[in-house]
Amino acid sequence: MSYTAKLIRGWSYAGSDGLGQEEDVTAGSLVGLDEPVPDGSVDLAVLCAIDLSQLKALYIEADQDITLETNAAGGSSGAPDDTLELTADVPKLWSISDGLGICPLTADVDTFFVTNGSGENTTLKLRALVDPTV
């Protein structure tokens, strides 16, 4: 089975026709998270395996400001591979056509450590298309 995601990127303002592009990305496997993150969570461990060499598209969002750290060495107390600051309702969107140099992830992921000090509960939403063939 394969999965196809439609990535939409655009620009518009009052009185304009706007600009935009759509991109279809297809891969054989879909990783999905809709993980509740209570307010006050510090380094909440969320297991999620993503092999960077097989990643084709990535979408991450939350409706509150949160911090994601990946693969902290020695658990949540170690240095993470990546730290992503998510702003409420501003998704991180990436596809293989953007190139690996601007992917928000720089290493394979096995665990996200999530911190939510926003004052509100939120949900971490993640979708990743990966090629399951090696």
- Report the pLDDT value the prediction gives residue 75, as an integer from 0 to 100: 59
CATH fold, domain 27-130, is: Jelly Rolls (2.60.120)
User: CA-to-CA distance for 73 and 89, rounded, in angstroms?
Assistant: 29
- Spatial contact of 37 and 122, defined as CB atoms under 8 Å apart: yes
SS3 of 29-66: the string is: EEEEEEEEECCCCCCEEEEEEECHHHEEEEEEECCCCE
Read off the pLDDT of residues 90-99 as tens digits, 9 standing for 90 and up. Answer: 999 999 998 7
Report the candidate in 77, 86, 80, 78 with the shortest Cα–Cα distance to residue 118.
Answer: 86
- Per-residue pLDDT of the chain (134 residues), as tens digits, is 899 999 998 888 887 788 889 999 999 999 999 999 999 999 999 999 999 999 999 999 999 999 999 997 655 567 999 999 999 999 999 999 987 779 999 999 999 999 999 999 999 999 999 999 97
Report the candidate in 52, 63, 68, 133 with the shortest Cα–Cα distance to residue 100.
Answer: 52
Model-wide pTM > 0.85: yes
- Sequence ranges of the domains in the chain: 27-130
Strand partners, 80: none
